[in-house]
């Protein structure tokens, strides 16, 4: 199929009001959810997922991608106005955004955050379109040993970089892998940890586990401290972001976008490190270095470009290799599966219309984000006024309905509650939840590819090192473990 | 709490859990056909590998705690909660609400159960808007019922008492 044929096929899927309406609604939901501190973009995507069951796959995925992109931008609004990041990715935006708000320049900071976000989003989408197809065609050469080495590398980097400590991340990933062994054995069909309960034979429901891990702990945390969210909102002020501001920060925006694209395409790194790296690079090279941290508009531009540059790029490993780049794309991979699609290289052959439909939708999403973001900046006061102590019980009710709707099974609601307490205990003990969830998704794939490799080779483990592709991923895994261990040791034993 | 004590605690729990898996849980609850000759292809192999790795991570955490140079507490850690034991009481109450929800879902139906759960949680969180909370407790479950039952076609549990259209 030629490029034009693929584009036409994609356009035939998304060339209707309904598809663009879903994308628009997704952006609105995402911006509002991102703007409410405590309702992260992750939680918003997870809670929106059950509403997509009755939709066509393309509309469902566009809605979720809208929530994702909207949520990442929305997080910058409370970061600037009340010094509370709506999402972890917006933490770097506080550094200069909030001092600007304190000076009465919140409108200018928010405007720059929006323009930098939209620019970075467009750059990231372009990178996705350029590289995903190329990577997928390369990945068609992968067999079970190559996929095993790739997934192992993804898990290593996710466990290592998504928390404060490699060991706690590894513990989290191992717990996720162990939980994924529940159910019938993939080869022999015998029971593993099912305790004779037919509800557990198909394994634990993915959506129950993810909503349990990411939404319920926030509700439990509210019971622990119901007043933790209270803060003071700043007014927008009269100053606005001008074209001169944008032009002055353009270099930092493009640099931040490229950093976001690079880090986003590596599974596990995510938006927050990208935002901080982009910010520190902008500070290092800026003429106004001394103003950074005191309300420099270029700092807001760099951090927002860094975190939004990740949004499209995380879809590169998702679509091309079937490996989620972060927690949100892990949820989106679940949405693909719910709708009978398996992301990965074969999708570029079997469902090329959906791939190109998504590309078209993503390009349009940057424009929609500009419109939705402009309105959201003015309407934030209303969003911030939503009482959290009424919102959280509403989230609980939504979780119950959403999780039940997956399989019409009350058992899944119980799984969600149990996973919620597990997630809360992990949160209190500073164990990151992201490696747990991603390992839970990748666990069956990892085991399946390992056992297929062993079946192919007659149980000879040397097949796992059979060629340059496996060597490449094993080398990356070794380098990652070495680098993270060295950095951990340096933190543990400070250099004199 | 410091990183040192956290790692020591997590390390001990992880090591004990790994032992529990290897000595009891995997032999008792993972079943392998008797004709599987090669251990690598057995359904028990993968759980044993993961249990072993959990043990190694647990021991590494203990080693890390033993060799840590500093015992400084985490910067964002609260020493003592200003409300004393009240937060623990609220956590317990929330756990009870969740358990009652599970028991009541098939009997009362999802709409009525979630109405009660909403109201109970809002008051547990000491809402400053009790009237709005009560209105939301009724409206939100009804709206979700309307969507899931009539738009998404989900068979929402109706319970034994009052059935909705």
Give the DSSP H or E segment for A221: helix A216-224
Residue with tokens 């052959």: A349
Neighbours of B74 (CB within 10 A): 12
Name the minimum distance, in Å, from the CA of B131 to any CA of chain A: 11
Taking the whole predicted model, whether its pTM rises above 0.90 is answered as no
Residue A234: pLDDT band (50, 70, 90) is low
Pair B90, B60 in one domain: no
CB-based contact A106:A236 (threshold 8 Å): yes
- The pLDDT score that the predictor gives to residue B114 is 95
Average pLDDT over residues B66-73: 76
What's the complex ipTM? Answer: 0.93
Does the beta-carbon distance from A193 to B30 stay under 8 Å?
yes
Contact B30 A178 (CB under 8 A): no
What is the rounded CA–CA span in Å between residue B125 and residue B133? 11
Q: How does pLDDT run across A304-337, given as a tens digit for each residue?
A: 999 888 888 888 888 888 888 778 888 888 888 8
pLDDT at B48: 95
Query: Taking CB atoms and an 8 Å cutoff, what residues of chain A touch B118?
Result: 393-394, 396-397
How far does B111 lie from chain A, in Å, by closest CA?
9
Our CA-based measurement puts residue A432 at a distance from the nearest CA of chain B, in whole angstroms, of 13
Residue A134 or A119, more confident: A119
| Strand, helix or coil for residue A191 | strand
Range of the domain at B105: 86-151
Region of poorest pLDDT, from A8-22, A46-60, A466-480: A8-22
Mean confidence (pLDDT) of chain A: 85
CA contacts within 13 A on the Cβ side of A44:
32
Question: Average pLDDT for residues A59-69, to the nearest whole number?
Answer: 92
Mean local confidence (pLDDT), B85-102: 93
Residue A494: Cβ within 10 Å count: 8
- Provide φ and ψ at B2, rounded to 5°: -100, 165
Q: Are residues B62 and B94 in the same domain?
A: no
Task: List all residues of chain B from 13 to 52 with a beta carbon under 8 Å from chain A.
Answer: 14, 21, 25, 29-33, 36, 38, 40-41, 43, 46-47, 50-51
- Tell me whether residue B73 is in a domain: no
In a domain, B79, yes or no: no
Contact predicate A129/A359, CB 8 Å: yes
Three-state secondary structure of chain B: CEHHHHHHHHHHHHHHHHHHHHHHHHHHHECCCCCCCCHHHCCCHHHHHHHHHHHHHHHHHHHHHHHCCCCCECCCCCCCCCCCCHHHHHHHHHHHHHHHHHHHHHHHCHHHHHHHHHHHHHHHCCCCCHHHHHHHHHHHHHHHHHHHHHHCCCCCCCCCCCCCC
Same domain flag for B12 and B47: yes
Q: What is the pLDDT of residues B109-122, one digit of tens each?
A: 999 999 999 999 99
Q: List the single range of A253-262, A387-396, B80-89, B132-141 with lowest mean pLDDT.
A: B80-89
Residues with Cβ within 8 Å of A144's Cβ and at least 6 positions away in sequence, in order, are A448, A449, A450, A452, A453, A456
Please indicate, yes or no, whether residues B95 and B142 belong to a single structural domain of this protein.
Answer: yes
Range with lowest mean pLDDT among A161-165, A343-347, B21-25, B127-131? A161-165
Classify residue B55: in a domain, yes or no. yes
Q: Which percentage of chain A shows pLDDT scores above 70?
A: 91
What is the C-alpha separation between B47 and A22, in angstroms, rounded? 42
User: Could you tell me the pLDDT band of residue A228, with boundaries at 50, 70 and 90?
Assistant: low
Whether residue A174 lies within 8 A of chain B, CB to CB, comes out as: yes
Q: Give the span between the Cα atoms of A302 and A315, in whole angstroms.
A: 22
For residue A6, pLDDT beyond 80: no
Distance from CA of B59 to the nearest CA of A (A): 10
The predicted pLDDT at position B52 comes to 96
Confidence of residue A496 (pLDDT cuts 50, 70, 90): very low
Question: What is the helix (H) or strand (E) element at residue B60, kind and residue range?
Answer: helix B45-67
Q: How large is the average pLDDT for residues A435-439?
A: 86
pLDDT tier for residue B84 given thresholds of 50, 70 and 90: confident
- pLDDT tier at A495, thresholds 50, 70, 90: very low
Split at pLDDT 50, 70, 90, the class of B22 is very high
Interface with B, mutate which of A389, A440, A486, A494 (most B CBs under 10 A): A389
Q: Which of B46, B137, B154 sits opposite A408 (nearest CB)?
A: B154
Contacts of A413 in chain B (CB under 8 A): 101-102, 105
Which residues in chain A are contacts of B54 at CB distance < 8 A?
A: 171, 174-175, 178
- Cβ atoms < 10 Å from Cβ of B40: 16
Residue B163 counted as domain residue: no
| Separation between Cα atoms, residue A359 and residue A20, nearest integer Å | 13
DSSP 3-state assignment of A25? helix
Look up residue A45 and give its two tokens.
Answer: 């995507």
Question: How confident is the model over A245-303, as pLDDT tens digits?
Answer: 888 889 999 999 999 898 888 776 677 778 888 888 888 888 887 888 888 889 899 99
Cα pseudo-dihedral A463, A468, A471, A475, rounded to 10: -170
Q: What percent of chain A stands above pLDDT 90?
A: 20
pLDDT at residue A207 in the model:
82
How many whole angstroms separate alpha carbon B95 and alpha carbon B98?
A: 5
Do residue B55 and residue B90 come from a single domain? no
User: What does the block give as tokens for A176?
Assistant: 């996720």
Write out the two tokens for A104: 């009465």
User: Would you kindly state where each structural domain of chain A is located, as residue ranges?
Assistant: 3-491
What's the mean pLDDT in A36-46? Answer: 78
Please report which confidence band the pLDDT of residue A492 belongs to, taking 50, 70 and 90 as the band edges.
Answer: low
Tokens of A491: 């933190």
Of A390, A408, A421, the CB nearest to B129: A390
Q: What is the pLDDT of residue A382?
A: 65
Residues of B in contact with A394 (CB under 8 A): 118, 136, 140
**Residues 6+ positions from A485 with CB-CB distance below 8 Å:** A166
Within a domain: B62: yes
Q: How many residues does chain A have?
A: 496
How crowded is the C-beta side of A11, counted as CA atoms within 13 Å?
6
């Amino acid at each position: 199929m030629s490029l034009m044929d693929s584009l036409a096929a994609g356009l035939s899927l998304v060339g209707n009001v309904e598809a663009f309406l879903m994308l628009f609604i997704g952006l609105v939901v995402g911006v509002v959810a991102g703007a409410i501190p405590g309702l992260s973009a992750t939680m918003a995507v997870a809670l929106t997922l059950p509403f997509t069951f009755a939709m066509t796959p393309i509309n469902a995925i566009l809605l979720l991608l809208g929530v994702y992109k909207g949520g990442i931008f929305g997080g910058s609004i409370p970061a600037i106005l009340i010094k509370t990041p709506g999402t972890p990715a917006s933490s770097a935006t506080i550094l200069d955004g909030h001092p600007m708000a304190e000076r009465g320049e919140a409108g200018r900071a928010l405007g720059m955050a929006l323009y930098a976000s939209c620019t970075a989003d467009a750059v990231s989408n372009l990178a996705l379109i350029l590289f995903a197809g190329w990577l997928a065609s390369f990945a068609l050469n992968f067999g079970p040993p190559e996929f095993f080495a790739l997934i192992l590398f993804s898990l290593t980097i996710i466990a290592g970089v998504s928390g404060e400590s490699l060991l706690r991340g590894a513990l989290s990933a191992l717990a996720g892998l162990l939980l994924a062994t529940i159910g019938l054995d993939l080869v022999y069909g015998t029971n593993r940890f099912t305790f004779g309960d037919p509800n557990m034979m198909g394994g634990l429901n993915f959506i129950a586990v993810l909503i349990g891990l990411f939404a319920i702990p926030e509700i439990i945390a509210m019971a622990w401290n119901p007043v933790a969210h209270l803060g003071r909102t700043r007014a927008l002020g009269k100053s606005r972001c001008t074209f001169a501001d944008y032009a002055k920060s353009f270099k930092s925006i493009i640099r931040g976008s490229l950093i976001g694209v690079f880090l986003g395409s590596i599974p596990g790194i995510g938006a927050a490190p990208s935002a901080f790296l982009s910010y520190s690079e902008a500070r290092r090279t800026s003429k106004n270095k001394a103003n950074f941290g005191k309300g420099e508009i270029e700092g807001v531009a760099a951090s927002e470009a860094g975190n939004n540059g990740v949004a499209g790029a995380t879809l590169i490993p998702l679509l091309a290799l079937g490996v989620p780049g972060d927690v949100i794309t892990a949820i989106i991979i679940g949405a693909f599966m719910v709708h009978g699609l398996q992301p990965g290289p074969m999708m570029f052959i079997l469902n090329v219309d959906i791939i190109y439909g998504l590309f078209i939708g993503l390009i349009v999403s940057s424009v929609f984000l500009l419109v939705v973001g402009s309105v959201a900046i003015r309407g934030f006061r209303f969003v911030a006024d939503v009482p959290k102590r009424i919102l959280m019980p509403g989230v609980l009710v939504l979780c119950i309905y959403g999780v039940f709707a997956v399989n019409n099974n009350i058992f899944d609601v119980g799984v969600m509650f149990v996973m919620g307490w597990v997630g809360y205990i992990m949160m209190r003990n500073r164990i990151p939840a992201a490696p747990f969830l991603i390992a839970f998704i990748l666990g069956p794939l990892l085991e399946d590819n390992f056992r297929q490799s062993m079946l192919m080779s007659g149980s000879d483990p040397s097949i796992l090192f059979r060629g340059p592709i496996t060597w490449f991923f094993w080398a990356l895994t070794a380098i990652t473990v070495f680098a993270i261990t060295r950095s951990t040791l340096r933190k543990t034993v400070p250099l004199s | 709490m410091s990183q040192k004590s956290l790692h020591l605690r997590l390390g001990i729990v992880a090591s004990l859990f790994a032992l529990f898996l290897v000595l009891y849980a995997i032999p008792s609850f993972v079943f392998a056909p008797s004709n599987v000759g090669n251990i690598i292809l057995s359904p028990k192999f993968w759980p044993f590998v993961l249990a072993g790795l959990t043990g190694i991570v647990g021991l590494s955490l203990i080693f890390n705690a033993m060799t840590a140079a500093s015992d400084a507490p985490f910067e964002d850690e609260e020493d003592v909660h200003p409300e004393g034991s009240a937060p623990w009481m609220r956590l317990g109450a929330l756990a009870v609400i969740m358990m009652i929800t599970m028991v009541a879902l098939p009997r009362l139906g999802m709409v009525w159960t979630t109405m009660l759960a909403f109201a109970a949680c809002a008051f547990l969180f000491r809402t400053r808007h009790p009237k709005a909370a009560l209105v939301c407790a009724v409206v939100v479950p009804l709206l979700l019922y309307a969507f899931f039952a009539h738009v998404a076609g989900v068979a929402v549990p109706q319970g034994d008492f009052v059935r909705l259209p």
